[in-house]
Amino acid sequence: MSQVIVSGIITGSLYALAALGLVLIFKTSDVVNFAQGEMAMFCTFIAYTFMTFIGLPYYIAFPLTIVCAGILGVIVYRLIIKPLSKTNVLSIMIATLGLIMILNGLAGNIFGFETKSFPKLINAKNINIFGVSLEPNSILIVLITLAIMLSLFFYFKTMEGIAIRAVAQDVDAAKLMGISVKRVTVTTWIISSMLAATAGMLIAPTKFLDINMMSEVHLKSFCAAVLGGFNTFIGPAVGGVLIGILENLVGKYISLAWKTVFAFVLIVVMLVVRPNGLCGKSYRKKV
């Protein structure tokens, strides 16, 4: 039992990692970026290209990819978000749906359709704690997820973070306060793209690298964010880990064939009871 719970935590932290970028964009602009997963996949392919075709070592390819991800964030902002910024939120969300197809098609044609293996952050022997077998790499992923979550949490307490939140609440008022709305929005897209790249590179060793590597993770990351609360940074982590554990427990003790269905039904029930998610605050607009 402990093995499946621990595995659930690790898988769950992958969901959480993928969800953090989603939450960031949502919190700052009320937009759900459906293409977050595909951005992660695309960046992971960039990292793979750095390592195999240029032959860079992992520790150089990783930060380089993060830089590229930042550039991708700017491109997405300039080409899609900015031209649509005068329209409503829904149009932007639909545009991100289109971005899924663009990135997926591009990745397939540039990098190929074969499944590739992607190196782990650290390659060490499995360790055994109380009969639970653990990969050191997985522990590191959990730690990184926690670290990113906490730094985002504290970032939003700084002046810069408060500016971002101000823009989210009222663009015009924020402008009047002397906040550069354009700069703030582009910053969030850069950060969330970097988060996507990090998530992609950490997920790829488990899920293997191909153009669909994020499809399932992305969907579950949505659920993690919804379950935990879409407007918090702690929420996705809690939601992700819960989904991971729940799926495994249902699989082990009830039915493997129905485990995903079961987990999702529970989420629906949860949402009826607590629409803002487990950790979410109910959102009240001050008049």
Partner 1 sequence: MKKILSILLTLILSISLLSGCGKQTKTTLAQGVEEKTIKVGTIGPTSGPIAIVGVPMLHGMQAYFNMVNDEGGINGRKIELIAKDDQFKPDLALQKAEELVEKDKVFAIVGQLGTPGCLGTLDYLKEKGIPAVYQGTGVSAFAKAKGNYFPVQPNYIFEGGLLVKYAIDNLKANSIAIIYGNDDAGKEELEGVKAQLKKMGKEDVLKAEVPFNTQDLDFSAHVQKAAEVKPDVTIVVGYQKAVPGILLEAKKQGFKTQFMTSYINADLTMLTLAKDAADGVIVTAWVPDITDPNNQAAKKFIETYKKYFPNETPNAFAAAGWVAAEVFVEGLKRAGNDLSWEGYIKAMETFNDWNDGIAKGITYTKDRRNGVEKMYFMKAVWDEKLPRFEKISDFVGLE
Which residue's CB is nearer to partner 1, number 7 or number 232?
Answer: 7
Q: Which of 13, 192, 198, 248 binds partner 1 (CB under 8 A)?
A: 248
The yes or no reply on residue 8 touching partner 1 (CB under 8 A) is: yes
Establish if 91 lies at the interface with partner 1 (CB under 8 A): no
Under the binding rule (CB under 8 A), the answer on residue 145 touching partner 1 is no
Structure tokens at 231: 């407007």
- Write the CA distances from 47 to 53, 103, 108, 176, 207, integer angstroms: 10, 15, 15, 41, 15
Is there binding between residue 208 and partner 1 (CB under 8 A)?
yes
Helix (H), strand (E), coil (C) string for 80-131 = HHCCCCCCCHHHHHHHHHHHHHHHHHHHHHHHCCCCECCCCCCCCCCEEECC
Whether the Cβ atoms of residue 44 and residue 204 lie closer than 8 Å to each other: yes
112 lies in the site for partner 1, by CB under 8 A: yes
Sign of CA dihedral 78, 80, 84, 89: negative
Q: What are the φ and ψ backbone dihedral angles of 128, each rounded to 5 degrees?
A: -115, 115
- Using the minimum distance from each CB to partner 1, give the nearer residue, 3 or 49: 3
Q: 3 vs 276, which CB is nearer to partner 1?
A: 3
Stretch that binds partner 1, among 56-64, 181-189, 226-234, 256-264 (CB under 8 A): 256-264
Local structure of 132: helix, strand or coil: strand
Binding region for partner 1 (CB under 8 A): 3-4, 7-8, 10-11, 14, 104-105, 108, 112-117, 126, 133, 135, 206-208, 210-212, 215-217, 219-220, 244, 247-249, 251-252, 256-257, 259-260
